[in-house]
Amino acid sequence: MNILRFLFLIPFLVICNSLTAENDTVFTPSARLGADLSGFARNLIEPETLTGEISLDIEWRKSHFVAIEAGLMQVDVQQETHRYQADGYFFRLGADFNILERSPDNPNDVLLVSLRYGYGKSDHEAPFIVIPDPYWGDHETSVSPESFQAHWLEAGIGLKTEIWNNIFLGWSLRGKLLLTSTSAPEMEPYYIGGYGKSGSNTRLSLLYSVLYRIPMR
């Protein structure tokens, strides 16, 4: 996908440029705590999947941020022929780089390019499976609980804007590249927490968040 190549290329160009740029402006380091809202919005469209996520980014140098994101996931798919359940956790580590020239009127607004490494671990099971057979009759079976893990990379672009007194709204468009995924051969995961639905080595996602900025004087 061309948009994924574009998203992964931008951060490397910004990093190369930032290494040669001078940081001659005094600034106040800050930390920003956030909560992702897109998981709850997704739950309205896909009731079988629920995720919750929090984030922390620290501006340790002007326009340079260290970021960590972590969350939990639950899946409960119920159909006439089967039931699938999963729960687990995930986290992402990485960096953000601001490419927006800050104005005196909105000094805390940032337009960010991002790089992330992601990891997710879950347990899943299928306690009820019916295999229809009109000749011999339906056959019932199940898959016992088993674990799986996944590693991936993310690159993206996003905006965080201050709406009132250190309170921010933000969004981020992320391209994701699955590196490895391990699971037992009996059953592939339906959903990978922090990554998205399985079945493809690439994903594109849009995150929404509300954040609070803490100046560190």
Give the span between the Cα atoms of 36 and 38, in whole angstroms.
6
pLDDT of residue 75: 96
For the chain, the C-alpha Rg in angstroms (whole number) is 21
pLDDT of residue 12: 53
The pLDDT tens digits of the residues spanning 207-217 come to 999 999 998 86
Q: Which of 48-57, 83-92, 131-140 has the lowest mean pLDDT?
A: 131-140
The pLDDT tens digits of the residues spanning 9-47 come to 655 555 555 554 544 456 789 999 999 999 988 899 999
Give the span between the Cα atoms of 217 and 206, in whole angstroms.
33
Q: pTM for the full model?
A: 0.85
Domain ranges of the chain: 2-18+30-94+110-147+160-215
